[in-house]
Chain A
Amino acid sequence: MKFSLAWLRDFLETDATAEEIAAKLTAIGLEVEALEDPAARLAGFRIARVLTAERHPNADKLQVLTVDSGDGPPLQVVCGAPNARAGLVGVLGLPGAVVPADGFELKQSAIRGVESNGMMCSSRELELGDDHAGIVELPKDARVGMAFADYAGSDPVFDVAVTPNRPDCMGVHGIARDLAAAGLGTLKAKSIESVPGGFPCPTEIRTDDPEGCPAFYGRVIRGVLNGESPAWMQARLKSAGQRPISALVDITNYVMLGWGRPAHAYDLTKLSGAVVARRAKDGEGVTALNGKHYLLDHEMTVISDDAQVHDIAGIMGGEHSGVSETTRDVLLEVAWFDPARIARTGQALALSSDARSRFERGVDPGFVEPGLELLAKLILEICGGEASEIVRAGAPPSGQHTVSYGPALCAQLGGVDVKPPRQREILESLGFTVVESEPRWVVTAPGWRPDIDGPADLVEEIVRIHGLDQVPSTPLPRADGVARPTATPAQALERRLRRAAAARGNVEAVTWSFLPEREAEAFGGGAWSLANPISEDMKVMRPSLLPGLLAAARRNLDRGAASVRLFEIGRRYMAEGERPTLGLVLAGERTPRGWANGKAQTFDAFDAKAECLALLGEAGAPVENLQVMGDSGAEFHPGQSATLRLGPKTVLARFGMLHPRTARAFDLDGPVAVAELFPDALPAKKSGGFARPAYAPPPLQAVTRDFAFLVPETLPAGDLVRAVRASDKANIVAARVFDLFAGMGVPEGQKSLAIEVTLQPGEKSYDEADLRVIAERVVAAASKLGATLRG
């Protein structure tokens, strides 16, 4: 909402400066986003008279002027304007002045070899108008030497961000009322005189949609002359950013911006029959004043005559019946529309307008007839003509509502103790009526404040006018002692996983939650697709964290990164819900080529496995008991990927090499290892205390024994290790593969697996017989898997 100081002063008697007003507006919730003084941009420009004008010696189109700028000797100025001539009084920009139109700072210079000490300016350069054919010509009596800003008149413009709850402040009058309440002046009492009707209204006016349009008031004014509006009105409209169009249009805009009251003027000759507010028929259409055609439906209220729709009620008039320079007779419409209906219609048509933004927030139902009178008065004054009697179809709601209010609430909720008489004063200055009764007051909100809903709203009114800076800062009550831990187990786990992953050299990324459809498809497809994505690249909610990380990996590799270790902790969006996930992508080089170890090495599936086990270990999972199983997914290399499970069903992670087809879909060339962890699948930790199980290191040293087995090629090493470990649980504390071999010396279809078994003696050291028995158990367990001890 933009308006000038002069316009504000039409409504507010005040001595405050523009800066003081701006500060107060912001302090009471009408945030001033900009305070601009068009005149301030004219600093350094002054009124000057051209004394002489000679041809430039070196240029045909230029003249060399001597200019009287009021003080000092005449200045020499080079000028290209055809109208520059001796005796002309115009506007001179001195060196240092900044041209408003282009921000160019004037300097003393030589133009084609002739010194120039400034510039005579055009209207366009000063942003006073569009004229750029010549320099500004001021009346001959304009005082030479006067600052042009003073001559043009300073009228600062406020740009206020009006919050959606304040339709009353979408008019200058409402803003003036708030300022007056805040002590910045006195609201000028402006009674709106009634304009007597000289004849019965010739047009029938009806509302057939009392729900959408409870009140439709109208009158005809005939014999108007729709020329230009007066300069004072144009100046006010321009300050609001409105281009003056014609007197009738300007007057309706002036009333809308001045009083927050939209209205519409129809060219009477374009109407036929009764003018009616009604529901649109499905499929009916109208071409609006913006030149676009809109298809309407039965949820929308329109104004129509016998022939067609002329107005999308409360939003935008129709092109057909709008007023023009030739309009002689007008029908004025001042109506009150249901705000919700306006909002729905505007949303459905994706059509915004100044009228809609006011109607959907709620215009003052008490200002229907005054608005019509005001319009008529202005039209008669400016355009002449004769007004008809008023036709009133329906009646606006009262708009007033009462709130039961205890003044103690101000301190209880607002935290500031404002004395009840002052509270009452504030409310009354804002137009509320207050009846003091015990224990609670009865406060009636004025019709222009549809936002007032309950006592809390009154506290807000009192506190904002009294001053939020008056609210003392009050410490929150605090629990005794040291602050308690607040993180839930899931939150603590997430933090731990994040820092563990980073500690292992992985870099955390945050990628978009949405993916291009094809990337989601590469990972099994997403369950959630947006109706209105920003772009096709951000359409489907991710079913996996890997696509976003793979795309990021590709961008990094494209930028020349040699090694990419990226992880992210976030959600996957599945049909059944959102699941916390850790995704990891390892691409490019695991180790760079080096003087010590030769060629660069790429990542493999075991790198991904190592990360999974390390992270699951940090998360408290029993990593030595996890099973490596299949079903990692079609996105993975079928022979180099697996799931890690706790028991056969609970999948804690999947990892491995990306399927080359998947890698290609993401434009990734080399081998890419990936992993996805599912922290919510981890069983909850049972222990509640801090003490650990009792433990004393065994007195006797552990011993190791090596076993080399020939096993079928297809036997997973993990199965053999598990069998060996389980073969004598009392003695065997660990078993690990230390050699894998196939080929020379190993029969076809078999491989050799060498296992180091760690034995922990208890009370006494092992003797040969003990060790023989344990070895027999190991070999027997292994043989059940088809393993034979290598001779």
Chain B
Amino acid sequence: METVVRFQNFAKSFGTKTVHEDVSFDVYRGECLGLLGGSGAGKSVLLRTLVGLEKPDRGQIWVEGEEISKMSERQLINIRKKVAYVFQNGALFDSMSVYDNLAYALREHTKLAEDQIHDRVINRLAEFGLAGNERLFPSNLSGGMQKRVGLARSIILEPSVVLYDEPTAGLDPYNTKRICDMMLRLKQKGATAIFVTHDMPAAFSVCDRIAVLKHGRIHAIGTRDEIEQQDRWVARFIQGEEI
């Protein structure tokens, strides 16, 4: 199996608070890895580090065969074209319409003509059930729609890796299912993904493997059955029992 993302002895602290002591794991091409852990376990920090929004204190991070931990902002641009980040709240540009939010990366990184960009944006919006909303601004959208626009914007450049930071948080079951279906569709197209969530049913419906973070380390990693059998604490955590 080809490794697409590799964390090797990763450590990160914020001031006196150590979030990660020694994190190592691999993500293989085409798989979706669920990242679970209690609140404040540092799941989002791992994702942010993968796109260079945070720098590790120690260790190495490999993306598509390139070590990114010491890359400059300019060098990271090429990595960021390959790795999409889906923010929890969408992080849409509120001064731009839905259309311009989606067209943003295409205008910046491709030489497509405006009519080609238009076609690509309209198709993507239709694919995500957002047809007809292109002229609206983020403030006019519901939470679920904002997340779908955020997801559509993130993958408009057709990245090889997608990082989902709690994309289903705060959504009703119907919208959660829509987001999960979109994630599954991307997975079928061959995208590698890391899915940070507290939503266990969503994680199990989308992910091939699950990694559980505890005390700044990967406490368990494997399929659902494997990690539940490996460790009683993990089984209780997944079941939502008191631990």
Same assembly: no
Give chain A's interface residues, CB within 8 Å of chain B. Answer: none
Give chain B's interface residues, CB within 8 Å of chain A. Answer: none
